[in-house]
Each structure stands twice: as structure tokens, then as C-alpha cells.
Structure 1
Amino acid sequence: MCGIVAGVSQGNVVPFLLEGLKRLEYRGYDSCGVAVLQRGEARRVRTLSRVCSLEADALAADLDGVTGIAHTRWATHGTPVINNAHPIFSGEQIAVVHNGIIENHEQLREQLRLKGYEFQSQTDTEVIAHLIRDHYQGDILTAVRDAAGLLQGAYAIAVMCRDEPKRIVGARQGSPLVVGIGDDGAFLASDTTAIADCAERFVYLEDNDVVDIHGTDIAIQDREGRTVSRREVKSRGHAQDTGLGAYRHYMQKEIFEQPVAVARTLATMSGDESLQAAMPSPEELADVSNLVMLGCGTSYYAALTACSWFEHFANVTARAEIASEFRYRDYVSQGNTLVIAVSQSGETADTLAALRYVQSMGEARTLAICNVAASAMVRQSRWAFITEAGVEVGVASTKAFTTQLVALFALAIAIGRQRGSVSQSEAATWMRQLAALPDAMRNVLAREPEIMAWAEALHQTEHALFLGRGAHFPIALEGALKLKEISYIHAEGYPAGELKHGPLALVTESMPVIVTAPNDALLQKLKSNMEEVRSRGGRLFVLADSDTGLMAGPGMRVIHMPAWRGPLSPVLHAVALQLLAYHVACLRGTDIDKPRNLAKSVTVE
């Protein structure tokens, strides 16, 4: 969601801040702004347009200074108008940027109004700015620390004070914040990506930390003012290539990057017996008989798909839980449980909260499947499987999803091997199948012209049904989600066997039905479900494995997929549905990489 970049530089900090904001655009935003200390005063530029417009406005305003803060805002408290855009000022003295939600902002606002503070915005952030100013007595670090002690909720903030140049103070509680140290200065950001080109060393702040960046010096305190030490991490390399190249959109680029992303993820595995150094040992997996998987959105669908793999290969009870709901339920442990948290960013607030909740209930065996090695979720978990999807700019997840599926499949094989339900030779066979997956994905991508023809037939519809059975039901859910996210077509995913239990009432000629049809044990059942649609005048669009015998005919279009890949078939069908959603959205002219009302990394509840 919102993004923070701040820093104290040897020279003009504005180019660093603007470049950082560009790298955070993938998170989603509806306003952005930058402020610097310039010739003894705090100056800012804000816009409801994109960062490129902010860059032009900053140049026109001759914004220049060595100390500055910047932000991309995704509106929560207050509509997207200029007065609500960050940075938020308190008088001419304090400037703040903020990610998160302050839950007690109304009470604090009333207290501050009684003291004479006037509010210029609808944001909860302005409460923070005035509160810091109210506590300021010559030391901005102390003021931020004291003010933070009164805040309830999740937040990451960066603060600068007119009276203390070359100084930035940051604080976090439940929302990510990282310090970057480089040759040109010291920086603060909500995402390492933002400062990867100006910092070589990183320090990840923990909850209740307050950091003081004073020139090139870094000091971290806890809420009580005690100095604390946090581990410094060397950069694993500068930000990856985020250029579009020959592609029209980042989503298209990332769809086509999936074979390489999957191959990179597979390369992290060290043979058949273990996956990574950060994975549990064979002995620690041997007695696992229950799995609880936590995720939101696309990550939840990855977990839901994997349930059938864990049950089939590992012979364990597996369930996927929507983290935002699970965290408010009464959890009952079944014993011998492995909890798996699935997240692209590793900062998803609901999944993090659900993970902490289940740990508080006594579950010590926790594993993060995540695309960001230094994320809060990885640090919170006992073990981690780091996927190698690379930077994903498009808000709608593609390569992060398929690499999650690969990681979960490999883990199912590993647990099955340790529990004796998968033999060594069977495990080797399935690892070879995984190794062949990138080529099979390229085969699916080669069907783009056929998928584009489907898009032509579908882009004017306002409703669609997606059907699947078994492990393909979650893929139908994911296909519907992708279409909703980027084309704004209302779409729903259903298990095909549920047609007669309600959804069949919606089927008419104007309701297209997209079906994912692998050549598995449920194929004949699925064919009967499809006939129910055809007999009621429905239009079928079927992704069929090449050996299913399904052929195009009246009321039914068919794209033949590669030969059935067994349990790995869902990965291939997911790629085709991503392409379909993308090309439908292209024809509808939507903002594909930054769909309305959505954010890439959901760091608040």
C-alpha cells in the first residue's frame, strides 16, 4: 500500500527520494508528495497524479535540500485530495509521512483541538504531526518517541523538523520500515526496493523501534529510550530490472517471466532431500500430521490448491485459512502441526497477525513461503522457503503465485518423503517433473494468440463464471479474481459440482462460463457439468488438456493445453487464465498495472 522514502544525503536528496517513489509505485497509490528542508524552511510538493508529475512539479519548484521525506498514499482516512496527501505538516515546524492506521486518532484529535491545534486534512496522519509538535522541546527524537507511545494501531513514520536539519527520525509498530546506509547518505524506506540503488547495508527495524538518522550516524532506541542493536544485512544486489522492455504492461512482462522465475525458485533447492538451509530438517518434518496454511487473496488460493498435494503426497490433514478471518477465530491445535504462512511481500498485515496469533496459541513450528527474504513474516517464522520470483510491479500477482505453488508442491513431496508416503524414486520423479515445468509454461505462453481471440469474445461482458474441480477449483477462484482485479468484470469461481446448487440459475447466453479441464479422475464428472451449461444456452470457454478428447462445437470454445502434467496441471492452467484476464483488460482499456482501489502490499487490516 502506501510507501515511504526519506533520507539525509551528502548532496541534493530529491533525486533519491523521487527514484525511491518510482520503485514503490507497484504498491498502489492515489497521491504522492515530497518535502525537504531548504534554506531554513520545510517546503513540499504534492500531487494527485503519478510520480512522474511530482518529479516535474519538484523541478519547477526548484526543490533542493539534503534532508527530505517522500510518500505515495493509498487513501484510508480521507479522500484522495491534495490536503490529505503526504507529507503532512504541523505548522511550519514538523513534517511527517505515515503508513498504517491510527486506531485512536479520533480521541487524540479531540485532545489536540482542545489545545488549539487546527486540522487541515481528514487524515489520521495529521494527528501524529500535531502530537509530535505538542511534545517537541528541542529534541525531535524524544518528541517522536513520546508521541509514538500514545499511538494505537499499526504505523511506520518518518519525521523531519525545521529546527534540526540533517536529521530524520523514524518509528514503526506493525508496519515495515528499513534503514539503508550508503556512500551518499542514510535513508529510510518502507521497502528495500526503494533504496536499493543508494544503500549497500540495511537494518530492518522491529516493532517499537525508533531510529535517529543524524547525518551519517544511525542510532536505534526502544520505546523506553534504551539503545538497542539490530542486525545489519548486506545487500544481495541492487534492484532488479524493472524496465518494461518490449512489453506493454508490467503484468504482461511478469506473466512471461514465469518460466525463469520458476526455474530460479527450483534452483534454490539442494537436491531431493532438503529444499534450503532455512528449511526444517527431515527429523523436524517426520512427525508432522497436520498443516494449517494462512494467506490472503492470491496467496490463499495457492494454499488452497496445495491442500490436495499435501493430502495426496504427504498423507497429512491440510487446511487453508483466510488469514483475515482466521485471526479472529478460536484456534484448536490438532497436535504435530506445521503452520505455513504464504505471502508475496511478507508484510501482509492480516497474515502476519494470524501467524502471531497461532504462535501465541503454542504452535512453534512455523514456515514462511515468501518472495522477500528480509520481510517481517520471514523473521517471525521459524523456517522459510524464499521463492525467487523477483520484483513484481503489477498489483495483480502472477509470478509470485506460480512460484508459491512450486514451493508448496516441493514441500509436499519433502514431507511425504520423510513420512514414508513418497518413496525416494517417486520423489526423484516428481522433482524431474518440477524441473520440466518451465518448458511446459512456455508452451502455454505460446497459446497467447488463441487466448487473445477469447478475449475478443469476452471483453464486453459484465459477468463471468469460472469452474474447476479438485485442485483446479482454487485455480478457477484465482482466474475469477484476476479478471475482477484488472478488467473490473464481475466474476465468480465455483466448484463445478456445485452448479446445480445455485449458480446454474445465472447461466444464460450472456453469462460466459470459463472452465479449467485437466485430464484427471474428475474429467467425466466435469464433462457432465459442462453439458448442463450448454443445454441451458450458456457459452463455454474450456482450457482442456490435449488428451481430454474435448473439442470445440456449438456453444463451446476449446484451447488445448499441453499434455496433462498430473498434480502440476493447476500451475499451467493458472498461466493461461492470467493471460486471459490481461488481454480482456487491454481491450477494456483499464489501468492494468495499477487497478483502481487496490494496492500491491496490504500492510494494514
Structure 2
Amino acid sequence: MGALLGMISQENVLPNISQQLHPLIEQGHCSATLISDQASAQILSCPTLTLHLHLHGQSAHRVLIRFDWDQPHHCSIASSRDSITVCCRGLIENSEALQDKLSILGYISEPANTAQLAADLIHWHYRSQHDLLKAVHLAASEIIGVYAISVMSAEHTGEIICTSRHIPLFIAKGVRCIAFSDQPQALQGIAPEMIRLGLGDTAKLSSNEFTLLNPLGEPCIRASENFQQTQIKLHGFHHYMQKEISEQAGIFADILDDTGCDANLAQLLNNDAACILCDIEGITLLASGSSYHAALTARYWFESLAGLPCTVELASEYRYRDAVQHHNTLIIAVSQSGETADTIAALKYAQSLAHEHTLAISNASPSSLMQLARFQLFLAAGPEIGITSTKTFSTQLLTLYRLALCFAKLRDHLSAAAEAAAIDDLRRLPRAATELSAITGQLQEWAQKIFSSKQLFFVGRHLYYPLAQEAALKMQEVAYIHAFGFPAGELVHGPLTLVNKDLPVIACLPWNRLTEKLLANLQEIRARDGELFILSDAGLSSSEHYHVICMANNLHDLNPILYGIALQTLAYNTAILQKNDVDTPRFLSKSVTKN
């Protein structure tokens, strides 16, 4: 997860930058990549904790910084023709089309990362406009994706331009400087009031004023917001859970821009992993809680995409079993914090059985689990303060899907056409996640109908059965409702006896080869007067006791991630109506290594 900060002043701006670092360090952004307008300025990458030492004694009037939660993202700053410098985060969805256009225009950039593409495109527009603000606005109108971009020009020494799509940016005007960031707490020392840019706005910052253009390129004014100390870390949201659900699109964009969308195991892990793991004969996933449900979903991907036998074990049970597994099995341990005691013990048990190939997947790079495994895969989802897992669950799904793709290619199970289609789906995932905001109102209506229920059923089939289990767990955690997740085909083996008019049943019904079977299962519920709530892309219509929310169906194997986010939102809204403390549910806790 990345963060941007930029500042401009008539005086030396670097001492002010040093004063704004503490909130970002507190958040866990441990590395920084910086460019300033110093003569012959070079890109500086260093730990955030030592950035003030590197800036000591230096002088600059403009500075752009990208912060990261782990290692610095070296492609986050780029220049075009020594004239336009861009610092950014996020992912360009139509990168191939833009690269083809720029190549024809004489711009050659390999690899085509977000910063370089943006810099070249802005430079092209600036050549005809001779106005940096208009050039950035025109370039942004061509870029499709989820991103935030900041720009400096060698010819316009008194300006910084910034714009974004689906990543909120804030501007603070101080006494001697103006700054922008996507993290408002980084601006709290500059001014108590901030301007939040609207979707598609472009801003020009000078040392004492700023100008805004709306998405149509017209001058506009945005109302200022006065964040209270208790609100500023929430970015204006009411709860961390709500904030963390909303920022998932930006996290997906950062992850995919950082590591690429290609099915390349050496790129995702390292060259040693690609060589050592090329001939594994099976996979065993160890996890607990939400991580277990992510692992259950991943089993379908490993088997269908890579042709690898895959088993999923509850860590708390596996460690006490006399497990019998092939010696050439890759053991993957999954944990949000990397400190889950059962998962650590289960991995140690697997190692005691002479399993040499072990991989840890966690959102905490220095955690005990990561240190224990031979290979490590860092989620980079940023700090998750809410107790219940939301963005880490979604990034686990994304990471496990990409791992399955890599093994599919490594084992020659992935055709060139299938890989191209998968890469296209990955590029479109961040923006598809932002489009879920369109159904927020409908999910709130569902919450109104179910929040007083004593129990809930969630049902799904295939990839969506683990999602039903995860959705039930979310309802248990934050709404305190007796919720249960079932494979829809198993309803006839007992659960149907509990169905009546007072039992809401929430179903995931994607249009696929199992749609007709699931519709038949749901008809059994309707016949018993059950109240149905259906997330579906199958073109169904709502009727009495039959409520349908239309979901997108264009991401194929990645669609479960979108359904998962919708179900997280439903659980959040239900808990709010219950007047529960959604960020710290009763009797629950989790390890958070950075907050």
C-alpha cells in the first residue's frame, strides 16, 4: 500500500516535510522515495525513519514523495525528456493502448510502468498546450484505472500539479506552504482545514494558492473540511472497517503496479523459488479464520488452473493429526498478522514431517511466520486496524490467485491466450472494485431487512461456497447474528428443516455452469417461504421475498473478490444498525504489527 505527499513553498520546504513524517511512520509506511527541485536532484530511496537525516542541510522549494509499507517502489517516480517528472501510485488499466500510442509518437519506455507512461503522456500534451495544468488534465482524461499522480515541470518551477481517479487526494494550505496527500493525517500539521478533491479533479499548487479543474476541465471550488483529531485517521469515514473496505481498489492497484500482472513466479517470489518449486506435486494450505476461507477458495484455482492436487487444513486441527502427505508438497501457511499461534505451530509440524518446501503469506513482513518459512509472499495491504479482516482477506484472494496463475504457467497449463485474458482481468480488477459503490444503497436496504433476524444462511457453490462461509463469519464477528455458510447442494441434507419465513438466506449466484443447479436449490428455499437475497449477474428480477442485486460478470475467476467486498459491506451495514462496535467486536482480538 502506497501513499503520496507533495509540498511547495517559497522557502525551503524540506524542514516542513520532516515534521510531517511521524503520522506516516505511525501508519507503518517504512520506506520513502523522493524527488525535489534541487539542481541535479536524484531520486532518493531510504527508510522513512531516516529520511529527515538525508534531508538535513538540504534545500528545495518543491518535493514529491511516495511512501510504501515495505520495500520502496522504485518505479513510482519517472521523468520524460528531462522536463516532466511524475510521482504516483496506482495502476493504469489501458497501459498497453497508451504505450502503443506513445511508441508511435516517439516515446519508448520499457517497462511500461504507471509513472513513465503518465510522464510521457503529459509531456506529449504539454508540447501542444504549453500549460502544465491543462496537459495533466488532458492526460488524465485518457488514462483509465485507479491512480493518483503528482507532477513537476522544469519549466514551471513554481507549480505542482496533482490529479487522481478513485484514490482521494487532500490539499492543505498553510502559512508558508501548500501540500497535498492521499493521507490527511500527513497534512494535519500544516492546516486544520483541508480540501478533498472530487473524482477526476486536477489541482495546481503554488506557494500561496491553488487552482482546481473539474473533470470537464472547468475551474471549480470544493468546500473545505475540518477534520477533528479523532476523525483524521479515518479519512472522514465513521469506522476503520468502513475505511478499509473502501480503500481496497487502491490497494489492488498498488500491488499490481508494484509486482506486475504477468504470471511470473520469479517476479512474484524470486528466481530461487521458480527453480526449486517447478516440480512440486501438490499443495497444502494451512490457515485459520478468514485466511482459511481464502485458502478454500484458492484450492479451486490451484486445481483448475495449475492442475495441482490441493488440500486445505485448519491450522488448529492439522497440528494434531497424523498427516500423510507426499514429500514433494508445497506447504503454504496463510495468516494476516503472521503471528497466529495455530498457524505457526502447524507450519512447524509440517517441517517436522520433513517438508522442505514452505511458503508464508502474511501482511507483516517481519512476522514469526515469515521468518519460519523458506519463501515469503508479502500482502502489502497496509495496516488493518479493524479487528475483522476485510482488505487483508481480499488481498489474500488476489495473491493466491496470482500464485495459482504462476504455477499454471510454470507447469505449461496456461496458454498464451488464457494468460492474456487473466492479465486483462487483473488490470480491470481495481476499477471494478470501485464500481461496487453503486450497490451500496441496495446493500443498506438489505441490512435494514435482516438486522433484526435471529439467524442467517449464506449459500453458494464451487468458488462461492467458501465466500458463503466467510460472509457468515463476518456476520458473527460484527453483527453478533447466528449466521451459517452452506454449500447450496447440501441444503437438502438437513439445513432445509430450519427454513421458514423468518429466515433470510443470502446467496451468491454467478452465471456459470452451476447456475441452474443453484436456482433449483433456491427454489427449495422459496417453497418453504424463506426470504431470499441474491447477489447475481444472471439477469434476475426482484419480486416479493426475492431480492436481487445485480453484480458485474466480466472478471471470470476474479469475480469472487468482488462478491466478497459486497458481503463485507453488507455485514458492516448490518452491524451499524445493531449499534455494535464494528472495529472492536466483543471478545475478539488479533495481532496487528503496524498501526
Question: Is TM (by shorter chain) over 0.5?
Answer: yes
Is residue 2:234 matched to residue 1:244?
Answer: yes
Aligned match of 1:365: 357
The C-alpha deviation readout for 1:215-273, integer Å capped at 9, x for no partner, is xxxxxxxxxxxxxxxxxxxxxxxxxx981121000000000011111122223324432
- Matched residue SS, 1:549: coil
Does the 8 Å CA contact 2:532/2:545 hold for their aligned counterparts?
yes
**1:414 paired to 2:439:** no
Q: Equivalents in 1 of 2:416, 2:403: separation in Å?
A: 14
2:397 aligned residue:
405
Kindly state the Cα deviation for residue 288 of structure 1 after the two structures are TM-superposed.
1.7
- 2:95: which partner in 1? none
> Aligned AA for 2:533?
F
**Partner-residue secondary structure (3-state), 1:467:** strand
Q: What residue is the counterpart of 2:541 in the other structure?
A: 551
In 1: Cα distance, 2:272 partner to 2:254 partner: 21
1:508 partnered with 2:500: yes
Does the CA contact (< 8 Å) of 2:287 and 2:335 recur in 1?
Answer: yes
Alignment check: 8 A CA contact 1:273 1:414 kept: yes
Structure 2: give runs of 5+ residues left out of the alignment.
Answer: 1-22, 29-230
The equivalent residue for 2:444 is 452
Q: 1:397 deviation in Å?
A: 0.4
Paired residue secondary structure (1:430): helix
| 8 Å contact kept, 2:461–2:489 | yes
Number of the residue aligned with 2:552: 562
8 Å Cα contact 1:445/1:575 also seen in 2: no
Relative to structure 1, the CA distance from residue 284 to residue 405 in structure 2 (aligned partners, 3 Å threshold; closer, same or farther) is: same
Aligned to 1:577: 567
Q: Which amino acid aligns with 1:578?
A: Q
C-alpha distance in 2 between matches for 1:280 and 1:495: 39
Contact 2:278 2:410 in 1 (8 A): yes
2:294 — aligned with what?
Answer: 302
Q: CA deviation at 1:563?
A: 2.1
Confirm whether residue 597 of structure 1 aligns to residue 569 of structure 2.
no
User: 1:289 Cα shift?
Assistant: 2.0
1:287-317 per-residue CA deviation (whole Å, 9 max, x = no partner) reads: 1221000110000000000000000000010
- Report how far residue 549 of structure 1 moved: 2.7
Q: Does 1:265 align with 2:238?
A: no
Residue-by-residue CA offset, 1:415-469 (whole Å, 9 max, x unaligned): 0101111123422321221121111111123211110010111111110000000
Do the aligned residues in 1 keep the contact of 2:293 with 2:469 (CA within 8 Å)? Answer: yes
Distance change (3 Å), C-alpha of 1:338 and 1:279: farther
| Partner SS, residue 259 of structure 2 | coil
1:120-519 alignment, distance < 5 Å:
243-270=233-260, 271-274=262-265, 275-278=267-270, 281-519=273-511
Amino acid in structure 2 at the alignment position of 1:575: I
- Unmatched tracts of structure 1, length 5 or more: 1-18, 25-240
In 2: Cα distance, 1:301 partner to 1:459 partner: 24
How far off is 1:281 after superposition?
3.3
SS in 2 for 1:436: helix
* Secondary structure of 1:590 counterpart: coil
Identity in percent: 42
Contact 2:576/2:582 (<8 A) preserved: yes
Please show how residues 48-59 of structure 1 align to structure 2 within 5 Å: none
Residue 279 of structure 1: how far off its partner (Å): 6.9
Superposed, which structure 2 residues align to 1:106-125 within 5 Å? none
Change (3 A) 1:279 1:307: farther
CA–CA distance in structure 2, aligned partners of residues 291 and 280 of structure 1: 18
| Equivalent-residue separation in structure 2 for 1:261 and 1:446 (angstroms) | 19
**Distance between the aligned counterparts of 1:453 and 1:273, measured in 2?**
43
**Structure 1 residue 278 displacement after superposition:** 4.3
SS in 2 for 1:411: helix
The alignment partner of 1:292 has SS state of strand
Alignment-mate amino acid for residue 432 of structure 1: D
Letter in 2 for 1:273: N
CA gap of 1:511–1:564, structure 2 versus 1, over 3 A, is farther
Structure 2 residue matching 1:379: 3-state secondary structure: helix
Q: Which secondary structure state, in structure 1, belongs to the residue aligned with residue 463 of structure 2? A: helix
- Aligned-partner residue type, residue 365 of structure 1: H
Change (3 A) 1:272 1:243: same
User: Partners in 2 of 1:521 and 1:285 — Cα distance?
Assistant: 33
Give 1:252's aligned amino acid.
Q
When residues 425 and 519 of structure 1 are mapped into structure 2, their CA distance, relative to the original with a 3 A threshold, is same
Determine the C-alpha separation between the residues in 2 that align with 1:532 and 1:551.
18
Contact 2:479 2:571 in 1 (8 A): yes
CA offsets per residue over residues 514-534 of structure 1, 9 Å max, x none?
001111111100000111000
Note closer, same or farther for the CA distance 1:313–1:242 as it changes in structure 2 (3 Å cut).
farther
Deviation at 1:335, TM superposition (A): 3.2
Aligned pair partner of 1:526 in 500, 518, 527: 518
3-state DSSP of counterpart to 2:534: strand
Q: Is the 8 A contact 1:443 1:562 kept in 2?
A: no
Following TM superposition, by how much is the alpha carbon of 1:564 offset from its aligned partner in structure 2, in angstroms?
A: 4.2
Q: Closer, same or farther in 2 for the Cα pair 1:317/1:303, shift >3 Å?
A: same
* Closer/same/farther in 2, CA of residues 584 and 373 from structure 1, 3 Å limit: same
Q: Give the counterpart letter for 1:398 in structure 2.
A: T
Contact 2:251/2:381, CA 8 A, preserved across alignment: yes
| SS in structure 2 at match of 1:537 | coil
The code of the aligned residue for 1:585 comes to A
In the TM superposition, structure 1's runs of 4+ consecutive aligned residues that sit over 6 Å from their partners are none
Aligned-residue RMSD, C-alpha: 2.1
Q: Does the 8 Å CA contact 2:451/2:577 hold for their aligned counterparts?
A: yes
